[in-house]
């Protein structure tokens, strides 16, 4: 395959398949190896960009497929992979690369993440004792840089720092994690196995509503009071279901309803919008 044929495939791939085409993957690798031999850094960098585009498309489309299969946490992890790869690619995108739907995928990744019920994550605390450059393999220190710039592309490979030695100091439970895959799950008291206790109804709802993975949609979140009967029996001194951290009797009970988020979805379809509560 030629470079032009690969680009044409990547423009169409988001609507034709949820799996990366092996022939495109191998063609990209072969063209990049040839560019490196010729020391054509411009072409090698362009081919790295196209490899990353293919990776992002694959992560996002596979995540959407997993959502439709009810495998929400697995899809969540792929959204994070797509988000990370998008951050790598962003500084190197060219103006016409919007044809590969990167901007739309970034927008949809953020909107899906907003619908997930995850609130708390485990975050490890470490001290980095040694790290090396992924390009030259040299140990990198503040006063002894290797000369390669993190995030730049050399011979079709992105420069980063690989931690080779660290000291684990502990862990913390946080709400804004660096690594979004470290979701906290409950353990089943009988089987002692991890139990997914989260409600994914909002994600399932929009996935069932859209016609394709890349159909553009948005969500507006407002607050309404839902009937007390929707929440079953709640003790007066129990924490209020609205998550205010106040006791139920001093928060939503006197108001006659629980203050809750209401999600209004809009789908950009055809000449107008399709609205769904």
Q: What pTM, to 2 d.p., does this model score?
A: 0.86
When pLDDT is cut at 50, 70 and 90, the band that residue 187 belongs to is confident
- What is the C-alpha separation between 100 and 11, in angstroms, rounded? 5
Query: What's the CA gap between 46 and 180, in Å, rounded?
Result: 29
Q: Which helix (H) or strand (E) holds 22?
A: helix 22-37
* Beta bridge pairs of residue 167: 127
Helix (H) or strand (E) holding 127: strand 121-133
* 273: pLDDT strictly greater than 80: no
Q: Per-residue pLDDT tens for 105-154?
A: 999 999 999 999 998 899 889 999 999 999 999 999 888 999 999 999 99
- CB-CB contact of 125 with 172 (8 Å): yes
For the segment 53-112, what is each residue's pLDDT rounded down to a tens digit? 999 999 999 999 999 999 999 999 999 999 999 999 999 988 777 789 999 999 999 999
Q: Distance between CA atoms of 268 and 29, rounded to whole angstroms?
A: 37
- Between 231 and 72, the more confident residue is 72
Q: What is the mean pLDDT of the chain?
A: 90
Is the per-residue pLDDT at 243 higher than 90? Answer: no
pLDDT of residue 76: 97
CB-CB contact of 139 with 132 (8 Å): yes
Instruction: Indicate the pLDDT class of residue 272, thresholds 50, 70 and 90.
Output: low
């Amino acid at each position: 395959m030629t470079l032009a044929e690969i680009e044409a495939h990547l423009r169409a791939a988001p609507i034709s398949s949820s799996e990366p085409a092996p022939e495109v993957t191998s063609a990209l690798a072969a063209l990049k190896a040839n560019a490196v031999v010729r020391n054509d850094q411009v072409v090698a960098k362009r081919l790295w960009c196209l490899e990353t585009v293919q990776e992002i498309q694959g992560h996002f489309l596979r995540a959407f497929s997993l959502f439709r299969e009810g495998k929400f946490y697995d899809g969540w992890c792929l959204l994070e992979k797509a988000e990370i790869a998008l951050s790598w690619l962003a500084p190197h995108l060219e103006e016409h690369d919007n044809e590969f739907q990167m901007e739309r995928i970034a927008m949809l990744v953020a909107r899906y993440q907003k619908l997930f019920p995850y609130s708390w994550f485990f975050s490890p605390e470490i001290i980095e004792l040694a790290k090396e450059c992924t390009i030259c393999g040299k140990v990198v220190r503040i006063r002894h840089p290797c000369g390669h710039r993190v995030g730049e592309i050399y011979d079709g490979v992105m420069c980063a720092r690989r931690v080779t030695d660290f000291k684990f100091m502990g862990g913390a439970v946080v709400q804004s994690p660096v690594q979004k895959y470290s979701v906290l799950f409950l353990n089943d008291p009988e089987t002692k196995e991890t139990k997914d206790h989260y409600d994914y109804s909002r994600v399932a709802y929009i996935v069932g509503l859209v016609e394709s993975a890349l159909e553009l949609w948005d969500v507006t979140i407002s607050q309404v009071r839902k009937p007390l009967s929707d929440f079953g029996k709640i003790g007066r001194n129990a924490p209020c279901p609205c998550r205010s951290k106040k006791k139920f009797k001093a928060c939503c009970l006197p108001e006659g309803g629980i203050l809750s988020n209401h999600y209004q979805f809009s789908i950009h379809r055809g000449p107008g919008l399709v609205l769904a509560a």
